[in-house]
């Protein structure tokens, strides 16, 4: 949509954006911006309803090239998240008008909200920055000579106050992390191999200056008994690795780290239990748990910079097919001594995650662990793309994740752990199998499987994002394709922990 977006504190903007609540006239401060009555006149038009995201364009202002009166929706129950929608709609209008500079004057309108719905200038700026930044994501690096790319404008964003400007910077930072996750997701599997992803992580760590990246591959996977990586990755010439990113704070180094574990399958063909029909296309996105964690680490290291360590483990492999494949009927012993009978090589994510969870419990002394994965098709059936599935029996961690979900719009819904589901995972010959003979409740079976690799007493949440990691349609501030789900959720979670 835009080639770049930056906050500009000097100079004059070509386009002015003001806000109008549903069924209301413009507030006095907004009216005062009007040089010649053109804005007030337009705000009285029939189509100036104030409905959320609706836009009335004013072309005859004597002060600006054009003015956009954007609808803020109903005053009662207003929530700051709807400003992302506002940003998306305004951004699309600005892009089609080839605008290069815009001024947002919406803070004054928001000041008059009821106390419970109050939105400060910083928060408003953050939502606008986030919406504009996410709207701007595109993936053109693989277009060849047969495509003519449209030219895009560089957008300068002005506002009414420093707090709003600072908010926009923050929002752009959140969007950048999300967009990094989306770009990784979109990168095809012949490029984005596990080692390529590891290299991207190293580059990010170097650039941030407060992160360290270590990659476990080859013999190190054997030495550390990372059984899932070794076996799931066996069939592919693109070798598996576990990527460890550590954010070190300037203060608070000795606190326990929050640990994220991301399923990062560079491709999931299903292995010998091959995916059939249309089931394989799109499985380049089976790395999206890891991509979301990667994006979150970018936001954490560059925007939030919390006073506590954060560790990310990206469990990466390609689930391919060859005579060297692991097979249904194999029995594998994991780092913590748990034995697993393989009944389906397509239930591979839980095997690499098992390594990450064992490692996190053994080595990281975590405050709590959150794993994120495109684990099961069943969660898509259950929750669609509206909520991710969340399994977390710790009240405090769960409340924080839910709050982070509400504030970022990356929402999750609680699902159960129960001994009865654990019983479904019992194997007749090993401790557990990786896929039960019955498909009922299979997202819950996945969580039950993973629970065998989390030590007693360690706080843990599992997020199944197979339904939310990709969008079918353009929405206000997003486009069809990878959503970058989890980058903002996990970053926000760290901030509120
Ligand atoms: N990567 C898939 C899950 C998936 C499905 C992600 C659709 C995104 C969209 C996962 O590895 C898988 O194949 N899961 C199986 C599990 C089953 C064999 C227990 C599934 O969901 O059918
Ligand atoms: Zn699979
Ligand atoms: Zn998978």
Joined together, the tokens standing for residue 119 give: 């939105």
Tell me if residue 380 falls in helix, strand or coil.
helix
Q: Which residue has the higher pLDDT, 256 or 11?
A: 256
pLDDT band per the 50, 70, 90 thresholds, residue 35: confident
Q: Is 350 a catalytic residue?
A: yes
- The CA-based angle 147-150-152, given to 5 degrees, is 145
Q: Is the CB of 349 inside a 6 Å radius of any atom of ligand 1? A: yes
- Does position 113 have pLDDT exceeding 90, yes or no? no
Q: What distance in Å separates the CA atoms of residue 339 and residue 327, rounded to the nearest whole number?
A: 15
Question: What is the number of the ligand 1 atom nearest to the C-alpha of 443?
Answer: 21
Q: Is the CB of 325 inside a 6 Å radius of any atom of ligand 1? A: no
> Residue 45 carries which DSSP code?
S
State residue 105 phi and psi, 5-degree precision.
-125, 70
Ligand nearest to the CA of 464: 1
Q: Is the CB of 268 inside a 6 Å radius of any atom of ligand 1? A: yes
Tell me if residue 255 falls in helix, strand or coil.
coil
pLDDT tens for 373-425 read 999 999 999 999 999 999 999 999 999 999 999 999 999 999 999 999 999 99
State residue 111 phi and psi, 5-degree precision.
-60, -25
Contact 332, 232 (CB under 8 A): no
Q: Is the CB of 165 inside a 6 Å radius of any atom of ligand 1? A: no
Of 339, 189, 380, 185, nearest to 269 by C-alpha is 189
| Ligand 1 probe mutation, 269, 345, 372, 375, most atoms within 8 A of CB | 375
Identify the H or E element spanning 38.
helix 38-43
Contact 195, 241 (CB under 8 A): yes
pLDDT band per the 50, 70, 90 thresholds, residue 189: very high
pLDDT tens for 128-167 read 999 999 999 999 999 999 999 999 999 999 999 999 999 9
Residues forming a β-bridge with 262: 314, 372
pLDDT tens for 447-456 read 999 999 999 9
Q: What distance in Å separates the CA atoms of residue 88 and residue 72, rounded to the nearest whole number?
A: 12
Of 304, 273, 261, nearest to 494 by C-alpha is 304
Contact 36, 124 (CB under 8 A): no
What residue ranges in 152-250 does DSSP mark as E strands?
153-159, 211-217, 241-247
pLDDT tens for 314-350 read 999 999 999 999 999 999 999 999 999 999 999 999 9
- Does position 229 have pLDDT exceeding 90, yes or no? yes
Q: Is the CB of 182 inside a 6 Å radius of any atom of ligand 1? A: no
- The CA-based angle 382-415-403, given to 5 degrees, is 105
Distances (CA, A) of 2 to 44, 96, 483: 31, 10, 18
Helices (H), 100-141: 107-111, 121-135
Q: What distance in Å separates the CA atoms of residue 24 and residue 107, rounded to the nearest whole number?
A: 16
Residue-by-residue DSSP string for 155-169: EEEEESSHHHHHHHH
- Does position 115 have pLDDT exceeding 90, yes or no? no
pLDDT tens for 282-293 read 999 999 999 999
pLDDT tens for 245-268 read 999 999 999 999 999 999 999 999
Averaged pLDDT of the chain: 97
> Residue 430 carries which DSSP code?
S
Q: Is 89 a catalytic residue?
A: no
Q: What is the pLDDT of residue 16?
A: 97
| Torsion of Cα atoms, 335 then 341 then 342 then 348, to 10° | -30
CA 478–ligand 3 middle distance (angstroms): 25
- Find the distance separating the first CA and the last CA of the chain, reported in whole Å: 34
């Amino acid at each position: 949509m835009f080639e770049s977006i930056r906050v500009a504190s000097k100079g004059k903007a070509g386009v002015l954006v003001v806000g109008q609540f549903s069924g209301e006239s413009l507030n006095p401060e907004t009216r005062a911006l009007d040089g010649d009555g053109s804005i007030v006149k337009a705000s009285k038009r029939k189509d100036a309803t104030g409905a959320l995201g609706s836009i009335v364009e004013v072309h005859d202002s004597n002060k600006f090239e054009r003015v956009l009166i954007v609808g803020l929706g109903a005053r009662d129950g207003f929530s700051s998240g709807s400003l992302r929608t506002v940003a998306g709609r305004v951004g699309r209008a600005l892009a089609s008008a080839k605008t290069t500079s815009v001024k947002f004057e919406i803070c004054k309108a928001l000041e008059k909200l009821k106390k419970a719905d109050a939105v400060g200038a910083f928060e408003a700026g953050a939502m606008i920055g986030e919406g504009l930044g996410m709207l701007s994501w595109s993936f053109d690096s693989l277009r060849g000579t047969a495509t003519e790319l449209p030219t895009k404008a560089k957008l300068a964003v002005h506002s009414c106050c420093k707090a709003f400007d600072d908010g926009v910077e923050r929002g752009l930072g959140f969007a950048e992390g999300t967009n990094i996750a989306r770009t990784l997701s979109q990168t095809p599997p012949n490029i984005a191999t596990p080692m390529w992803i590891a290299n991207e992580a190293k580059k990010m760590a170097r650039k941030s200056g407060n992160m360290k990246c270590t990659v476990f591959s080859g013999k190190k996977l054997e030495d550390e008994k990372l059984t899932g990586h070794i076996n799931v990755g066996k069939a592919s010439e693109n070798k598996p690795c576990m990527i460890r990113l550590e954010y070190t704070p300037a203060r608070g180094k000795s606190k326990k780290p929050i640990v994220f574990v991301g399923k990062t399958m560079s491709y999931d063909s299903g292995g010998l239990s091959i995916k059939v029909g249309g089931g394989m296309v799109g499985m380049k996105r089976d790395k999206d748990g890891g991509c979301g964690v990667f994006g979150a680490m970018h936001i954490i290291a560059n925007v939030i910079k919390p006073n506590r360590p954060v560790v990310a483990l990206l469990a990466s492999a390609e689930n391919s097919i060859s005579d060297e494949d692991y097979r249904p009927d194999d029995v594998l012993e994991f780092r913590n001594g748990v034995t697993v009978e393989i009944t389906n090589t397509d239930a591979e994510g839980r095997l690499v995650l098992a390594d990450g969870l064992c490692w996190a419990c053994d080595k990281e002394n975590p405050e709590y662990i959150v794993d994120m994965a495109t684990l099961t098709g069943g969660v898509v059936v259950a929750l669609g793309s509206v909520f991710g599935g969340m399994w977390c029996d710790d009240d405090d961690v769960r409340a924080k994740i839910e709050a982070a979900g509400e504030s970022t719009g990356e929402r999750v819904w609680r699902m159960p752990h129960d001994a009865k589901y654990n019983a479904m995972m019992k194997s007749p010959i090993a401790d557990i199998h990786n896929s039960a003979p019955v498909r009922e409740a299979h997202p819950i079976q996945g969580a039950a499987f993973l629970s065998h690799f989390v030590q007693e007493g360690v706080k843990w949440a599992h997020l199944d994002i197979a339904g939310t990691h990709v969008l079918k349609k353009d929405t206000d501030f997003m486009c069809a394709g990878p959503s970058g789900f989890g980058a903002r959720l996990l970053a926000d979670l760290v901030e509120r922990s």
